[in-house]
Amino acid sequence: MRATRVELKSPEQFRSMRAAGLVVQRTLARLAAATAPGVTTADLDQVAREEIARAGAVSSFLGYDAGYGLPAYPAVTCISVNSEVVHGIPGPRVLVSGDLVSFDFGVSVAGWHGDSAVTVAVGEVASEVAQLSAVTREAMWAGVAAVRPGGRIGDVGHAIESSVRSHGARYGIVADFTGHGIGSAMHMAPDVPNRGRPGSGVGLRTGMALAVEPMLTLGRAPVATLDDEWTVVTRDGSVAAHWEHTVALTERGLWVLTAEDGGEAELTARGAPFGPLAD
Ligand code: MF3
Ligand code: CO
């Protein structure tokens, strides 16, 4: 295997990433609050643009060039509805009660990035759809809580996969996309797969930051990309959910940069070391 160079952050750089993470957290909270039947996804992208301007941050998504000759990403949010898994482009679509919507959002502050996603129910959703989102969120926290200096990336994927499988075989774990390292760019080494073998893969060290982001379906795992070259949908039309946090490995433990409380409640509940830097 080729050696992967992983960016290690200084405490000062983590503080910039925390500033970005808090803008992301605040914006996602506003998006969740503004989500309602009758609202368009373009309206919600506009809400996020206001938050970016107010914070003086820079969108990580707008104009993003993924390479491969893809068109530059045209919005500040990815808004993915129902069978859309990730990378849904905001537009005239009107949300209706029963929809399940994922919001993925990232900004940089002083050149340092934060990236997070939440899934939100519009009005009343079917109980298995609400359950899908809850299981995905739980899998994300299981993955975050498995991050450890001295551990390996496969431990994270294994924790995510085990968490999902503890609910039976009913969920598809999307394997075509992964989480990622993050810092001076949104997408960096290493990949953070949503399945894995314990003790395998890149070693984890203090100074790293990872975006952990499971994507689950209420059906099978295979996905396809629409003609807009961005929107990823389930091949079987099943509903999907997506949750993501950016987590830093500090000398004191884990600091979830995109969680308002730094991850204290969820990490402590899982026996993982909560380790923020002093303000
Ligand atoms: N933030 C997404 C991820 O979680 C990627 C967004 S793609 C972009 O990795 F083009 F919108 F930037
Ligand atoms: Co991400």
Q: Write the pLDDT tens digit of every residue in 70-95.
A: 899 999 999 999 999 999 999 999 99
pLDDT above 90 (res 279): no
Distance in angstroms (rounded) separating the CA atoms of residues 54 and 66? 27
Task: Compute the average pLDDT of residues 168-179.
Answer: 97
Question: Quick one: pLDDT band at residue 3, thresholds 50, 70, 90?
Answer: low
Closest CA to 147 of 246, 216, 21, 261: 246
Q: 8 in a domain, yes or no?
A: yes
- Nearest atom (ligand 1) to Cα of 78: 11
107 pLDDT higher than 60? yes
CA distance 178 to 117: 13
Residue 109: inside a domain: yes
Does any domain span residue 275?
no
Ligand 1 centre to CA of 74 (Å) is 11
Residues measured by CB to lie within 5 Å of ligand 2, the ion: 115, 211
Q: Which atom of ligand 1 is nearest to the CA of 213?
A: 4
**Do 102 and 79 meet the contact criterion of CB atoms below 8 Å apart?**
yes
| Inside any domain, residue 54 | yes
H or E element that contains 107: strand 100-109
Q: Give the CA distances from residue 155 to residues 17, 145, 197, 217, 229, in Å, rounded to whole numbers and listed in that order.
A: 24, 10, 6, 22, 32
CATH of the domain at 186: 3.90.230.10
The ligand placed nearest to the CA atom of residue 60 is 1
Least distant ligand from the CA of 87? 1
Give, using CA atoms, the residue closest to atom 8 of ligand 1.
61
Enclosing domain of residue 212: 3-269
In a domain, 279, yes or no: no
68 CB-near residues (< 8 Å, 6+ apart):
none
Number of domains observed in the structure of the chain? 1
**Position 276 in a domain:** no
- For residue 61, the CA-to-ligand 1 centroid distance in Å is 6
Residues 6+ apart with CB under 8 A from 248: 9, 14, 17, 18, 208, 209, 254, 255, 256, 257
Q: How would residue 2 be classed by pLDDT, with cut points 50, 70 and 90?
A: low
Nearest CA to 260 among 114, 120, 98? 114
**143 band by pLDDT with thresholds 50, 70 and 90:** very high
Q: Is there a domain that residue 277 lies in?
A: no
Check the CA dihedral 16-22-28-34 and report its sign.
Answer: negative
pLDDT tens for 10-48 read 999 999 999 999 999 999 999 999 999 999 999 999 999
Q: 186 lies in a domain? A: yes
> Measured in angstroms, how far is the CA atom of residue 244 from the centroid of ligand 2?
7
**Which has more confidence, 56 or 66?**
56
Cα separation, 43 vs 31, in Å, equals: 10
